[in-house]
């Protein structure tokens, strides 16, 4: 075969390789972009938390919300040594800023926990 025929085969082979790799690179790009979105979300939540958790008591309240265990506001108030209304007010702020999640148990008690992997500095 002549040189132009060999070159044509190489070009065709490279096109085939590119066509095989495009779906893989697209998948990696999507994973990377999703990872970046998550990092940005966590950074935004961290920034919001640093604004809302200005006092040591509020920081301690938020620390108590780490993990998968839901806690009552009364339990949190007792552990931190502040009033339940103060905890309730702070929990409302955290909830409005989408930093915690809540559920109501079978007794009608509202329980809360940290929604994201963020903590006050």
Q: CA-CA distance, 88 to 69, in Å (whole number)?
A: 18
CB 77 within 8 A of CB 87: yes
pLDDT of amino acid 72: 92
Domains recognised in the chain with CATH numbers: 3-114 (1.10.10.10)
Write out pLDDT tens, residues 22-81: 888 888 888 999 999 988 888 887 777 777 778 888 888 888 888 778 899 999 999 999
Q: How confident is the model at residue 98 (pLDDT cuts 50, 70, 90)?
A: confident
pLDDT of amino acid 103: 87
Question: Which residue pairs from 70-79 have beta carbons closer than 8 angstroms and sit at least 24 positions apart in sequence?
Answer: 70/102, 70/103, 70/111, 70/112, 70/113, 71/111, 71/112, 71/113, 72/109, 72/110, 72/111, 72/112, 73/110, 73/112, 76/112
Q: How confident is the model at residue 1 (pLDDT cuts 50, 70, 90)?
A: low
Report the share of the chain in percent with pLDDT over 90. 19
């Amino acid at each position: 075969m002549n040189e132009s025929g060999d070159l044509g085969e190489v070009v065709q082979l490279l096109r085939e390789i590119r066509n095989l790799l495009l779906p893989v690179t697209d998948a990696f790009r999507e994973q990377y972009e999703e990872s970046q979105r998550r990092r940005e979300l966590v950074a935004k939540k961290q920034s919001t938390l640093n604004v809302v958790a200005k006092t040591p008591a509020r920081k301690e309240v938020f620390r108590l919300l780490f993990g998968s265990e839901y806690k009552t506001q009364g339990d949190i108030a007792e552990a931190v040594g502040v009033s339940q209304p103060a905890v309730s007010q702070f929990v409302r702020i955290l909830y409005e800023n989408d930093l915690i999640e809540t559920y109501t148990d079978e007794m009608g008690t509202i329980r809360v926990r940290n929604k994201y992997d963020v903590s006050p500095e």
